[in-house]
Chains A and B, each alone.
Chain A
Amino acid sequence: MNRRSFMRQMCLGGIATFALPSVTFAEVRHRGRLVFVLLRGGFDGLAAVVPYGDPTYRQLRGGFAFEESELVHLTDVFGLAPGLAPLGELWDANELVVLHAMAIPYRTRSHFDGQAILETGLDRPVGSSDGWLNRLLQVMSGTRSGIAIAAGLPRSLAGSFEAQTWSPTQLGVVDDAYLERLAALYRRDQALHGRFEAAMQQKDLVGEEPMAGGGARRGGMTPIMRAAARILRTETGPNIAAVEFSGWDTHAVQGLAGGALDRLLGQLAEGLMAFRADMGAAWSTTTVVVMTEFGRTARANGTRGTDHGTAGAGFVIGPSVTRSRVFSDWPGLSDRNLFENRDLRPTLDTRSILKAAIAGTFDLTPAQADRVFPGSAGVRGSYELMG
């Protein structure tokens, strides 16, 4: 191949363009780690990142508003709910970007459609059934892998790039001799042996499950996050992890400080901080993104809860963020500023944040980030968040 034909192939987007980098870097393993934490059910952004400085906040939420003194003040406008207080340490360490008035690019108040859009990375609930994390694995080059810290593969990781799964044991401890005999049997099954090996490896990495016993293995986010850290922190650990927690659909008795939602937020914060501590040296190249399918209604409902809404809050956490900040084009909470006179108005597209997070974590170009979210070329990544 002479120079001309090489250039010609490059211009035509021929095989050479893609083959060269993957050949050159085939043995390079990405050091970056991205953890996508999906809070299923739609958590109330206004009760997690409280706009106490918005002139309408108190009037809008009435007896359902936090006292300013209960909050962890971030700016003159925003404070974290008491449960999220542990995240203050991240804020001080310049590792916390707080997102607000953020929403998926499609207006729906359905959990099913909302989660589908957040997980496929598309702008409508139909189209590809592949997840954006799987597309990300396809776009990245070099040796890389992904894992779901969940029972079964969530949609965000579904697709042609084979990903692993891990979830806490639900039964008693199984003895090693039995598992070794089984592993020997699985080695003869071409379709299954890689999967069984992966399961055994993850089991070894996690070891005795954190807080195992006492029937508490399924409860709480901290044991799950700590197990995730044990799997992710190894040199050859997965680069991408999908973690999910449910229970955020607070239609009734949502509570204030110390209430139902605040306790969940407390678990989340504790889990995130335990994850950061357990990652050790690997934390320096790790980014955690926390998102939900939609925010909730700006006003409380008749059962002391909130209903499905539109824009909400989220977080990008890690040493790769430029600095701690609240990143929001705040629309305000007055009646005329609310979306359909009921929800926080969306001013930030989830994909803009996700593009920045993946580009910053894995050194992707904006063009590569665009490929992870089909049809999103018009949505500029918020690349200034990552530095």
Chain B
Amino acid sequence: MSATLIDLPEAWSDEGRKFRTPQDWLVAVLRAFQSDEVPERVLPVLRQLRHPLWSPQAPKGFSDTMQEWADPDSLLNRAELSRTLAERAPRIDPRQLLDVVDTAADDPLRRLLADTSIAADERVALALASPAFQWR
């Protein structure tokens, strides 16, 4: 049954996608960097993204909706943060990130990641802040 579910076209359509909460997004960033551990400095980052670890507002808890997390200011916040994270990241080939960012064949991000006239760390940042990377 699992195989059938995976093969279902609905499982891969846009309707089934979910906007990454800040914590989801940050974990995805660490995985993209192939980090083995979670550095302690992610804690202030999570606070800054209004998603402090284990500290939801009682009694409501954290929302997991796009309405809550994808407001304009938060998107810009992720864009700015991606820049900082990419600067401090281990040196990786930006093109490797295509393995972890789910892009359509005609997504201009593919071209950007291969464009060596753009600094490597900026290309990494573009991948992390790209709309494609905000969904799971």
Spell out A's residues near B (CB within 8 Å): 112, 148, 151-153, 158, 164-167, 169-172, 174, 178-179, 181-182, 184-186, 188-189, 191-193, 195-196, 198-200, 202-203
Contact indicator A203/B108 (Cβ below 8 Å):
no
25 example contacts (A-B, Cβ-Cβ < 8 A) are as follows: A112-B59, A158-B67, A164-B72, A165-B71, A165-B74, A166-B73, A167-B73, A169-B80, A171-B81, A172-B83, A179-B79, A182-B126, A182-B129, A184-B108, A185-B109, A186-B75, A186-B131, A188-B108, A188-B131, A191-B19, A191-B70, A195-B71, A196-B131, A199-B76, A202-B73
* Cα distance, A178 to B119, chains bound together (Å): 10
B109 proximity list for chain A (CB < 8 A): 185
* Cα distance, A343 to B128, chains bound together (Å): 52
B67 proximity list for chain A (CB < 8 A): 153, 158
Q: In the complex, given contacts A165-B71, A200-B76, A202-B73, what are 4 additional A-B residue pairs having Cβ atoms less than 8 angstroms apart?
A: A188-B108, A195-B72, A198-B72, A199-B76
Q: How many A-B residue pairs have CB under 8 A?
A: 95
A198 proximity list for chain B (CB < 8 A): 72
Contact indicator A166/B72 (Cβ below 8 Å):
yes
Shortest CB-to-CB span from B85 to chain A, Å, is: 10
B66's nearest neighbour on chain A, judged by CB, is A191
Contact indicator B72/A182 (Cβ below 8 Å):
no
Given A179-B79, A191-B66: A199 and B72 interface contact (C-beta under 8 Å):
yes
Contact indicator B73/A199 (Cβ below 8 Å):
yes
Shortest CB-to-CB span from A23 to chain B, Å, is: 28
* Cα distance, A44 to B123, chains bound together (Å): 51
Nearest 9 A/B pairs, CB to CB: A199-B72, A189-B131, A165-B73, A165-B71, A199-B76, A198-B72, A171-B80, A195-B72, A152-B50
Contact indicator A185/B73 (Cβ below 8 Å):
no
B96 contacts chain A at the CB level, 8 A cutoff: no
* Cα distance, A235 to B40, chains bound together (Å): 46
Contact indicator A196/B125 (Cβ below 8 Å):
no
Contact indicator A171/B83 (Cβ below 8 Å):
yes
Given A182-B129, A185-B131: A165 and B72 interface contact (C-beta under 8 Å):
yes
A179 proximity list for chain B (CB < 8 A): 79
Complex partner residue of A192 from B68, B77, B122, B131, CB under 8 angstroms: B131
Given A152-B71, A153-B71, A164-B71: A185 and B108 interface contact (C-beta under 8 Å):
yes
B129 proximity list for chain A (CB < 8 A): 182
Shortest CB-to-CB span from A218 to chain B, Å, is: 10
A194's nearest neighbour on chain B, judged by CB, is B72
B107 contacts chain A at the CB level, 8 A cutoff: yes
Shortest CB-to-CB span from A198 to chain B, Å, is: 4
B35 proximity list for chain A (CB < 8 A): none
Residue-wise, chain B 107-136 has the 8 Å CB interface mask toward A (1 for contact) of 111001000001000100110011110100
B50's nearest neighbour on chain A, judged by CB, is A152
B72 proximity list for chain A (CB < 8 A): 164-166, 195-196, 198-199, 202
B84 proximity list for chain A (CB < 8 A): 171-172
* Cα distance, A169 to B79, chains bound together (Å): 11
A151's nearest neighbour on chain B, judged by CB, is B50
Count chain B CB atoms within 10 A of each CB in A158, A192, A202 and give the residue with the most.
Answer: A192
* Cα distance, A203 to B68, chains bound together (Å): 20
Shortest CB-to-CB span from A339 to chain B, Å, is: 27
B79 proximity list for chain A (CB < 8 A): 174, 178-179, 182
B81's nearest neighbour on chain A, judged by CB, is A171
* Cα distance, A186 to B74, chains bound together (Å): 14
* Cα distance, A354 to B70, chains bound together (Å): 29
Complex partner residue of B112 from A169, A181, A196, CB under 8 angstroms: A181
